[in-house]
Amino acid sequence: MTTRLFITGGSGFVGGHLATHVAAARPDVFLVDAPEFDLNQRSSLDLALEAARPDWVVHLAAQSAVPQSFADPRGTYEVNFLGTLNLLEALAARSFDGRLLFVGSGDAYGRVADADLPVRETLPLRPRNPYAVSKAAAEALCYQWSQTGPFEIVITRLFNSLGTGQSPRFAVADFAQRIADIATGRAPPRLVTGDLDVTRDFTDVRDVVRAYLMLLDRGVSGEPYNVCSGREAGLRAVVTRLAGLAGVAVELIVDPARLRPGEQRRMVGDPAKLAAATGWTAAIPLDQTLQDILQDEIRKRS
């Protein structure tokens, strides 16, 4: 029996990779087409769900840029929290009895002490920016619905994902695009950056979408799962590796205006709960991810 999958935010970075993975590796899953819709316009959402008739829903649609969330917190809350509520209500109105996967954020953990690394799901959420607040609030809403609503909801907390096609609003994608410009003679060999002396937990988006489908298969409703590699990587090392892969020497210039007050110095998550539930592991090495991103950017410029 084929499972009908509906994606909100399907035209975005992760949504595109999820669609590619389903087509290539999940013959038991059918990605349904639906009219374009706005999460905050119930009539268009109802029409999309009427056309889709899903068994599974992956809720990716969100305002995910932290700087934008400070500039427009109300708009961020409307999309990320109220949009999630609209989706839940629209599904309930259609007597949906399948599974929804809510894509939350590891940013909702907020400031984490070194002693609490790697981050486990038992750590309290202490979000420190409007985007993270909106995701923590939507997660709480999804948990409530998983306990009292008419269908199952699996909750994820995604750390940093990387892959081809990512917006340059995100640091590594921005670095890759600018290094590709340098490598192809479109820009001088220097990069203006923010703070590079921080670490993050990067996961290839192709591993991320595998995790999402495996959690829809086997995750427990109402439970949160970190989606992360469990590997800590320094941002300076990432930039240096991108330059090395491109075969260029790059001068790094730190712009004080790009420094974030109270920046989290180190971050790494623990994916043990996800692995125990599904058997998932992060299979793609960071070096392979960086190489694929850079080659894609250079190809676009050839």
Q: Rounded mean pLDDT of 221-246?
A: 98
More confident residue, 33 or 244: 244
Banded pLDDT at 257 (limits 50, 70, 90) = confident
The dotted CATH code for 3-163+203-231+268-283 is 3.40.50.720
Say if residue 256's pLDDT is above 90: no
Q: Is 72 exposed, middle or buried (0-12, 13-18, 19+ CB in 10 A)?
A: middle
- What does the pLDDT read at residue 258? 81
Say if residue 226's pLDDT is above 80: yes
- What does the pLDDT read at residue 260? 74
Say if residue 261's pLDDT is above 80: no
Angle between helices 130-148 and 83-93 (to 10 degrees): 20
What are the structural domain ranges in the chain?
3-163+203-231+268-283
Say if residue 243's pLDDT is above 90: yes
Ranking 37-46, 146-155, 223-232, 253-262 by mean pLDDT, the lowest is: 253-262
Banded pLDDT at 184 (limits 50, 70, 90) = very high
Q: Rounded mean pLDDT of 246-269?
A: 90
Q: Rounded mean pLDDT of 45-51?
A: 96
pLDDT, tens digit (0-9, with 9 covering 90-100), for 192-214: 999 999 999 999 999 999 999 99
The separation between CA 198 and the C-alpha centre of its own chain, rounded to angstroms, equals 19
Q: Rounded mean pLDDT of 49-55?
A: 97
Q: Rounded mean pLDDT of 84-99?
A: 98
- What does the pLDDT read at residue 259? 78
Banded pLDDT at 263 (limits 50, 70, 90) = confident
Q: Rounded mean pLDDT of 91-111?
A: 98
- What does the pLDDT read at residue 40? 95
Say if residue 89's pLDDT is above 80: yes
Query: Mean pLDDT over all residues of the chain?
Result: 97
Say if residue 185's pLDDT is above 90: yes
Q: Rounded mean pLDDT of 88-111?
A: 98
